[in-house]
Structure 1
Amino acid sequence: MKKMFLKLLLLCLWRLNGVFGESVMEGDSVSLNSPLTEMKNDDVIQWRFGDENTVIAEINATADRITVYDDVLDGRFRDRLKLDNQTGSLTITDTTTEHEGDYELRINSEIKRFSIAVYNEVKSVSVKEGDSVTLNSDLTEMKDGDVIQWRFGDENTVIAVINKPNDRITVHDDVLDGRFRDRLKLDNQTGSLTITNTTTEHDGDYKLLMFPGRLSSKVFRVSVYDSVHCCGPTEAVIRLVLSALVGVATVIIVVYEIRSRRAEQDQAHIHTSGSIEI
């Protein structure tokens, strides 16, 4: 019940021009929730996809019929659609990038729109505790109609939003027990996010959702390390190589010193042996 409430809350927070955005890792499942808690006997629900508004699933409560159209759109949804016969919500399993795009839910005469982004790459970023880290959107400049949203953690908690149409920047300092309070900075031109004075509480996955048009998504996996522990495999390798080089250099210096001393002793011995007593 708590997870369902959080999910619905997130959907409300992300409502942009009547469109609800969702992002999902390729291969995972994503659910598009209808606003119904329970269907009535005369309800008709229909799910459509893409620019052509192709019907992919429907529930007709009057006829007591649930239909999933597996064969449409070259079968991209085959064995991947699940309908909740109580609420009409739609779940897409084993997602691929072919499932990116716009979805439309029609409940009788009402319409609700969704947009899904499927990502298949997670960018790893490491930062020393106390330092700042910037998660780049890779945009050079946001357009007037753009909306950018940053989410954090398994619950996809919204932590920052830039809404260009309303000329508004919002940072949600109070979420997650205030762990991001006074630590988030948004670049109004690019939408990039900077986290200052990092702690291990800021470890985790950050999702960047960009709208409108086709919803796009980027994911950053941030690792915060302290001064004692190494931040990750790359730095570990670098430190290991540097340690090895220092060790080799030390051995070379010691060997050189030993050989130099022996050479000096040999020279002194030769000089003494070659002298003539009177």
Structure 2
Amino acid sequence: MICTFVLLLLNLVGVFGDTDAVKSVSVTEGDSVTLNSGVTEIQRGDIEWRFNRIFIAKANILQYGKEERVGDRLKLDRTGSLTITNTRTNDSGLYQLTITVGDKETIKKFHVTVDAPLSIPVITSDISKCSSSPTCVLLCSVMDVSHVTLSWYKGTSLLSRISVSDISISPSLPLEVEYQDNNTYSCVINNTISNQTKHVCITDLCRLCSVLSSDEVHYFGGTEAVIRLVVTALMGLAAVAAFFVLVYDIRLRRVELERHQTHNDGSNSLK
């Protein structure tokens, strides 16, 4: 009786297969990806592919002596393996393959993630964080990405890291450094497929913060220093404008004087 029950249980597992195991597959947008059926020989039976429970392909695998197109970007081969060409981000989701041979059914699942190509991170200095100390805050930012990790490195040493899975969130990672720091810093964005690195020149990015922090008094995170800088620049422009007005006035007076003198010389010659 026990042996009969065990044999029945094994038979059910053989018929329905493993329906819980899901294989994760990642690909960069625009590349191709193949979901392998695992079938190595032609078998008598049917195959069916579904994407997020929506039917996308079905055929008797004996009909495929060569690769055949199913739709514009799907390719189904004789073993039932499915290739998606020119992938797009909306191709991400759950793909399920069902192979039926007689009374045996095998189910395989693939979770596909199509990531957009990574852009190079943008690094800026946050002047609102300037202070009297000889430091400035750098911000490493990226936009329109999901399932990525953003990291700051000093040489090859990891300093800080954040991970983002929601594309609606534009990650930004701060780093406080000293103006005269000569070490090599870099910000790296990466996902499961690729990465992009941006190296930073601290001297260039922290120059403005260094100027603002030279004031002795800072209010509201450097607002007064910014105002002083703007006022100084405006006064300089006003001085330049006044200089050009003065030069123009002198030249105009000289022309009038020469014209008046020429008129007087003409009058004297007539006499």
TM-score (norm 2): 0.41
**Whose radius of gyration is greater, 1 or 2?**
2
TM-score (norm 1): 0.40
